[in-house]
Amino acid sequence: MSVVRSVVTGVGAYLPPQIVTNEDLSKIVDTSDEWIIERTGIRQRHKAADDQAVSDLAVEAARQALERAGKSPADVDLIIVATTTPDLTFPATAAIVQRKLGAGVGIAFDVQAVCSGFVYALSVADGFIARGNAKCALVIGAEAMTRLMDWTDRGTCVLFGDGAGAVVLEPGEGQGTTADRGMLGFALRADGTKQDLLYVDGGPSTTGTVGKLRMLGNQVFKHAVINISEAIHAAAEKAGVTVPEVDWFIPHQANQRILQGVANRCGIDEDKVISTVALHANTSAASIPLAFAHGVADGRIKPGDLLLLEAMGGGLTWGACVLRL
């Protein structure tokens, strides 16, 4: 039976030019290169310039994704930006991206699920395409997480970086089998009772400020490995595949130990894991599309490959997606 699938036809990425190394951070906070690498696997991160907004990062990634898909901004009828660091309280960063790209009138809005935002946004875009309400969607994860850092807190400020990644989604005809290109299965979760484990202590209706990121790292680690593993198996089951069938595992780049813990728990071969955490640190909603673009650019990820994406972020939110490129 013929079905409509949301197919990734282009992938793009953008990282700000400024690189902040662990050694750089050791000059402003009580930490060291060895301490950071041992606990996180992070060696450096990128930092947006003072005059760079999240929309600027998103636009650069979007342009690359469109070029690789053979599309122009005029073709785009849906823009979804996953971000927890928007340009403004409103309008949506997606609308600003629409204007800066020069895209025509269409649908544009943001998704806020913190680090899980890109997976959530893919699911939302998939719904628009599957019902015929969009023909060319830009799904973007873009963050300036360094703007939320308390630079006196060595437990958090060393973990995050800035960047953006994007994919173009277009409808493709499938036969309803696991051999189809496109989105095959999702599993999305949230548990608001775990808010205190990872949050920002400010907001328009509470403090009237942006706030700073706060985290109980050990608790987040424990929940991440257990919860993400469950979502991975649930997404694979919905897709009709088994986890060992996956060609590439593209996890949220939070911490190398979390990546390894999830891979081990799910029986995923280490050689199948796309890891960019050492170079990018945690870029929240941008981390999966950045890693996706990295794997495509270096030739590992190829058309026809079965991909597994997963993330967990504040909320707590988490989720997984299985797709065939």
Sequence ranges of the domains in the chain:
3-174, 182-324
pLDDT in tens, 68-125: 999 999 999 999 999 999 999 999 999 999 999 999 999 999 999 999 999 999 999 9
Q: What are phi and psi of 241, to 5 degrees?
A: -125, 170
* C-alpha–C-alpha distance, residues 142 and 13, integer Å: 10
- Amino acid making up residue 256: Q
* C-alpha–C-alpha distance, residues 305 and 321, integer Å: 14
Q: Strands of the chain (E only): list them.
A: 3-14, 18-21, 44-47, 78-82, 107-111, 137-144, 162-174, 182-190, 198-200, 213-215, 248-251, 306-313, 317-324
- Amino acid making up residue 271: D
Same fold, 3-174 and 182-324: yes
What is the torsional sign of CA 170, 62, 259, 279? positive
CA angle 210, 31, 50 (to 5 degrees): 40
Q: Which residue in the block uniquely carries the two structure tokens 């199948």?
A: 272
Residues (pLDDT < 50) of the chain are: none
* C-alpha–C-alpha distance, residues 72 and 56, integer Å: 17
* C-alpha–C-alpha distance, residues 64 and 57, integer Å: 11
8 Å CB contact between 285 and 141: yes
pLDDT in tens, 217-236: 989 998 999 999 999 999 99
Query: Which one of the listed residues 22, 280, 282, 294 is annotated catalytic?
Result: 282
Query: Which one of the listed residues 115, 136, 157, 266 is annotated catalytic?
Result: 115
Q: Which residue in the block uniquely carries the two structure tokens 């929309």?
A: 55
* Predicted local distance difference test score (pLDDT) of residue 249: 98
Q: Which residues of 172-194 are buried (b: 16+ CB within 10 A; e: fewer)?
A: bebeeebebbbbbbbbbbeeeeb
Q: What DSSP character marks residue 115?
A: G
Q: Is 115 a catalytic residue?
A: yes
Q: Which is nearest to 169 in space by CA: 308, 4, 2, 296?
A: 4
Q: Is 282 a catalytic residue?
A: yes
Report the side by side order of strands in the sheet with 306-313: 182-190, 317-324, 306-313, 248-251
Query: Which one of the listed residues 157, 227, 252, 294 is annotated catalytic?
Result: 252
Q: Which residue in the block uniquely carries the two structure tokens 């504040």?
A: 314
* C-alpha–C-alpha distance, residues 104 and 281, integer Å: 34
* Predicted local distance difference test score (pLDDT) of residue 1: 75
Q: Which CATH fold would you assign to the domain 3-174? A: Peroxisomal Thiolase; Chain A, domain 1 (3.40.47)
* Predicted local distance difference test score (pLDDT) of residue 60: 99
CA distance to 15, 33, 171, 274, per residue, from 295 (Å) = 15, 26, 23, 7
CA distance to 6, 45, 232, 238, 256, per residue, from 305 (Å) = 15, 29, 17, 18, 23
8 Å CB contact between 174 and 6: no
Q: Which is nearest to 4 in space by CA: 181, 137, 237, 122?
A: 181
* Predicted local distance difference test score (pLDDT) of residue 129: 98
Q: What DSSP character marks residue 282?
A: B
Q: What share of the chain is helix, strand, coil (3-state, %, to 5)?
A: 40, 25, 35
Whether pTM exceeds 0.85: yes
CATH number, span 182-324 = 3.40.47.10
Q: Is 266 a catalytic residue?
A: no
